[in-house]
Amino acid sequence: MAEKEVFLTPEGLEKLEKELETLKTAKRREIAQKIKESLEFGDITENSEYNNAKNEQAFVEGRIIFLEKLLRNAKIIYDDDHDGDEVVVGRWVTVRDLETGEILKYKIVGSAEANPAESKISNESPVGQALIGKTPGVVVDVEVFDGILQYELLEVSR
SS3 104: strand
- Per-residue model confidence (pLDDT) at position 25: 96
The residue among 58 and 83 whose pLDDT is bigger is 58
Residue 3 confidence (pLDDT) above 80: no
SS3 157: strand
Q: Say if strands 120-122 and 103-109 run parallel, antiparallel, or are unpaired.
A: parallel
Mind listing the domains of the chain with CATH numbers?
6-76 (1.10.287.180), 82-157 (3.10.50.30)
Q: Say if strands 74-76 and 6-8 run parallel, antiparallel, or are unpaired.
A: parallel
DSSP 21-82: HHIIIIIHHHHHHHHHHHHTTS-GGG-HHHHHHHHHHHHHHHHHHHHHHHHHTEEE--GGG-
For the stretch 12-71, pLDDT in tens is 999 999 999 999 999 999 999 999 988 887 777 777 888 899 999 999 999 999 999 999
